[in-house]
């Protein structure tokens, strides 16, 4: 009987540890609703999904590399620089559909450069992507000269600002991306190879996995997603600013880690990343609705990153001790 109770407690603990992000999300929504009953209105809930779309894109982008046990700190820089190139080409006369295609393409190219430098030159991913991010953000600032590029066409902004009936288009893009990457992570050879390389690179090599190809592929996809996030954010704001997307730099990593993507690599869930994205967005939107000063919201964002690290460490310790 005692053994059965211990097993039951362990099962409950397993469920809690594996779904902590969803538990925190439900608790956060309930707390926000207690203080502001209108929080449950369709307008606010749909706004949470809209606000979380770019963060979700960047969280998946950075997760692709974290799964390998590496890190990509250039996602926001890639998003801003890619959007800048696409918008400038559109201003020069490039048709809008082609300009939109250019943006993720530039992102993919940046990802390819990152991947080649990390794999071929054996550069440290943390330092290399940090340097790349600084170069890209510096380029954005230099080209714009601190000014904002605005007056973008309505057709360019439709995906981010348009609606189908009463429902915004933007969250549809978010869910489509998560469905695609659920399939990639769980049902493809590439996805399984990501987890294998991140879990034990030497064993993956012995098993015949092309380590360099997998790493380069992960960085390219991370760049493509960052570019797509750049398009969506520029279309949502209707502009490209000199400080484009900087508020997402650490949040996207926090969303991934809170969602269960281990910083040591080899572990993660795309549904967990979605949960982490929604959790951070609910907290930020909720605090804004409650009238909390923006300085305190920034503090809350920092605390969430701190919590993400603690959750990741606790999860790793628990799994190691099972």
Between CA 170 and CA 163 the distance in angstroms is 8
Q: What residue ranges of the chain have pLDDT lower than 50?
A: none
Ramachandran angles phi, psi of 163, nearest 5°: -135, 150
Structure tokens at 11: 């099962």
Residues facing residue 168 across a β-bridge? 163
Q: Max Cα separation, the chain?
A: 76
| pLDDT at site 166 | 85
Structure tokens at 119: 């794999």
Q: How far is CA 221 from CA 62, 78, 264, in A?
A: 10, 12, 20
| pLDDT at site 16 | 67
Residues facing residue 164 across a β-bridge? 167
Asked if 47 and 285 count as a contact pair (C-beta separation under 8 A), the reply is: yes
| pLDDT at site 2 | 62
User: What's the number of CA atoms in the CB half-sphere (13 Å) around residue 51?
Assistant: 18
Q: How far is CA 256 from CA 57, 277, 280, in A?
A: 11, 7, 10
Ramachandran angles phi, psi of 5, nearest 5°: -65, -40
For residue 168, the SS3 value is strand
Specify whether the backbone of 41 is left (phi greater than 0), alpha (psi in -120 to 50) or beta: beta
| pLDDT at site 6 | 64
| pLDDT at site 36 | 83
Between CA 85 and CA 80 the distance in angstroms is 9
pTM: 0.91
- Give the closest residue to 251 by CA, choosing from 300, 314, 312, 200: 300
Q: 27: exposed, middle or buried (C-beta count within 10 Å: 0-12, 13-18, 19+)?
A: exposed
Chain position carrying tokens 């099972």 = 322
| pLDDT at site 176 | 95
Chain segment 33-43, per-residue pLDDT in tens: 888 888 888 88
Helices (H) and strands (E) in the chain, counts: 14, 2
- Give the closest residue to 18 by CA, choosing from 265, 304, 267: 267
Chain segment 143-172, per-residue pLDDT in tens: 988 889 888 999 999 999 988 888 899 999
| pLDDT at site 54 | 95
Structure tokens at 14: 């397993």
């Amino acid at each position: 009987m005692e053994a059965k109770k211990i097993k039951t407690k362990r099962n409950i603990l397993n469920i809690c540890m594996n779904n902590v992000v969803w538990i925190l999300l439900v608790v956060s929504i309930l707390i926000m609703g207690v203080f502001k009953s209108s929080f449950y209105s369709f307008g606010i809930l749909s706004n949470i999904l809209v606000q979380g779309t770019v963060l979700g894109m960047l969280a998946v982008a950075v997760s692709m590399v974290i799964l390998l046990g590496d890190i990509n700190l250039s996602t926001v820089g890639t998003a801003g620089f890619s959007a800048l190139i696409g918008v400038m080409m559109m201003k020069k006369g490039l048709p809008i559909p082609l300009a939109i295609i250019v943006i993720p393409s530039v992102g993919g190219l940046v990802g390819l450069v990152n991947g080649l430098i990390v794999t071929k030159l054996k550069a440290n991913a943390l330092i290399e992507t940090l340097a790349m991010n600084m170069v890209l953000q510096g380029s954005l600032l230099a080209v714009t000269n601190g000014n904002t590029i605005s007056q973008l066409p309505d057709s360019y902004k439709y995906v981010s600002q348009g609606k189908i009936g009463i429902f915004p288009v933007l969250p549809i893009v978010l869910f489509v991306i998560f469905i695609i990457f659920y399939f990639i992570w769980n049902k493809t050879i590439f996805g399984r190879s990501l987890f294998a390389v991140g879990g034990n690179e030497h064993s993956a090599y012995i098993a015949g996995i092309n380590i360099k190809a997998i790493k380069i592929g992960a960085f390219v996809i991370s760049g493509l997603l960052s570019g797509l996030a750049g398009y969506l954010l520029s279309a949502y704001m209707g502009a490209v600013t000199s400080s484009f997307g900087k508020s997402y730099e650490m949040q996207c990593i926090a969303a991934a880690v809170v969602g269960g993507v281990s910083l040591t690599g080899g572990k993660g869930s795309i549904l967990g990343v979605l949960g982490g994205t929604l959790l951070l967005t609910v907290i930020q939107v909720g605090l804004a609705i409650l009238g909390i000063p923006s300085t305190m919201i920034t503090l809350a964002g920092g605390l969430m990153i701190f919590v993400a690290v603690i959750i990741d460490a606790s999860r790793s310790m628990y799994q190691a001790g099972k």
